[in-house]
Structure 1
Amino acid sequence: MIAVDAGPLQTLRSRPVVGVASDRRQHQRVRVAVLGRYMLSDRREYPCQTVDMSPGGVRLTCAVLGEIGERVVLYLEFIGRIEGVVARHTAGGFAVKLAATSRKRDKLASQLTWLANREILGLPEGRSHERVVPEKPGVTLKLENGREVMARLIDISLSGAAISCNATPPMGSIVVVGSTPSRLVRVFEGGFGVQFLLPLSPDRFHAGMVL
């Protein structure tokens, strides 16, 4: 889920920024894939996933682009609410320049350091959203090779699901759970866990939902 350049237990605040003069960034960026949602000035919310992030900015993968300079409010897993403005459009999304106090930037630096070290130190995958057991657990799973198999949802949250299935795809592979693109992020006895590439909308998330 997360690819980083930093060594274990280093902090983003103490580590010198290397090679960023050309892009005029003031903060060390961490490649981190965190699911979330964002709200543009029309007050509509859309799903997103981070590509990389620093205490001063974040690059998103998303479907709906904001205008350059438009205010954006973000709600990200493990991080919470942050806001800023659209700085530039990118392939598959846009970058946000964050508006934050020095105290908030310090907090973001600590959160990003934790996320980076969490992956490096091999801490278990977690889901911060509430999990429920679906009333109708049967679901079709489409594998990367196009093969479709029947599976059972053990539990599900806004950001992922635990699945029981006769076939276990390789770690990191992309699968489609029902109609929801996902990535396999963990394997456990009796099944495996997937993370949705974009989080579910709250109105799709209930005990009788169909993915």
Structure 2
Amino acid sequence: MSDRRAAARHPVVVPTLCLRGDGSEFHAVTVDISSEGLRLRSATLPVVDERLICNIRDIGSVQVRVVWAGSCDFAVRVIGTTPSPGDVARRFIELARRQAKLSEVVRVHRRINPERTAVEVELADSRRVPAQILNLSASGVALSLDFAPALGEIIRVGRRQATVARRIERGVGAAFLEPLEDAAVGEHTVL
């Protein structure tokens, strides 16, 4: 992998467990793939020419050789034959395409973390429950709360009505019925 990075790069983010020859292991996350190799990011960096077995979510176990190491990233090339390097590349490119489509749909507006995170949520049955804002955008809000309302339920977050759009760890993501002006969303925004 050269520093020029002339080859087309396909961003793809997938958790990976890397196994070293001495039996030790470390966690990494993929960054992107190109014809030059697969770039990963980790707090633990292998050395150039080190051989690893990378267990990559949605891809499988892959034998690789480190071809480049930077300050927090490293790049590998597939050296094993099962799955073949071409098969690994095809799987990654398809995964990158799926992730790109998801990010286009999910992340339309920029996300911010407001200073004031405490908010009251009124459920469809008029119960009021305390919640914490995890992040906020013009189109919706991610909330941490003890009680998870049903998907599709109309709730009131502070003074704004929203529909519960998805479940997240320890909470929900809700889409505002009337989006905010994108320019009006900032760290001082209060719902």
Q: TM-score, normalised by structure 2?
A: 0.51
Q: Is the CA contact 2:18–2:53 (under 8 Å) kept in the aligned structure 1?
A: yes
Q: Which residue is equivalent to 1:188?
A: 166
Q: Which residue is equivalent to 1:169?
A: 135
SS of alignment partner, residue 42 of structure 1: coil
Q: Which residue is equivalent to 1:67?
A: 47
Deviation at residue 147 of structure 1 after TM alignment: 7.1
Instruction: Summarize deviations over 1:159-205 as a string: whole Å, max 9, x none.
Output: xxxxx95424137xxxxx9xxxxxxxxx616614xxxxxxxxxxxxx
Given the alignment of the two structures, is residue 45 of structure 1 paired with residue 11 of structure 2, yes or no?
Answer: no
Whichever of the two has the greater Rg, that structure is 2
Q: Which residue is equivalent to 1:87?
A: 67
In structure 1, stretches of 5+ residues that fail to align are 1-19, 126-142, 150-163, 172-176, 178-186, 193-211
RMSD: 3.9
Q: TM-score, normalised by structure 1?
A: 0.47
Deviation at residue 83 of structure 1 after TM alignment: 1.5
2-side partners of 1:111 and 1:117: how far apart? 10
Deviating above 3 A after TM superposition, structure 1's stretches of 4 or more consecutive aligned residues are 22-25, 100-103, 120-125, 143-149
Q: Which residue is equivalent to 2:15?
A: 35
Q: Which residue is equivalent to 1:110?
A: 90
Q: Is the CA contact 2:21–2:51 (under 8 Å) kept in the aligned structure 1?
A: yes
Deviation at residue 96 of structure 1 after TM alignment: 1.3
Deviation at residue 46 of structure 1 after TM alignment: 0.9
Instruction: Summarize deviations over 1:82-113 as a string: whole Å, max 9, x none.
Output: 11112121131311122144971232232123
For residue 37 of structure 1, what is the amino acid of its counterpart? Answer: L
SS of alignment partner, residue 108 of structure 1: helix
2-side partners of 1:70 and 1:146: how far apart? 45
For residue 191 of structure 1, what is the amino acid of its counterpart? Answer: V
2:101 aligns with one of 121, 143, 164: 121
Q: Percent identity?
A: 23
Deviation at residue 81 of structure 1 after TM alignment: 0.8
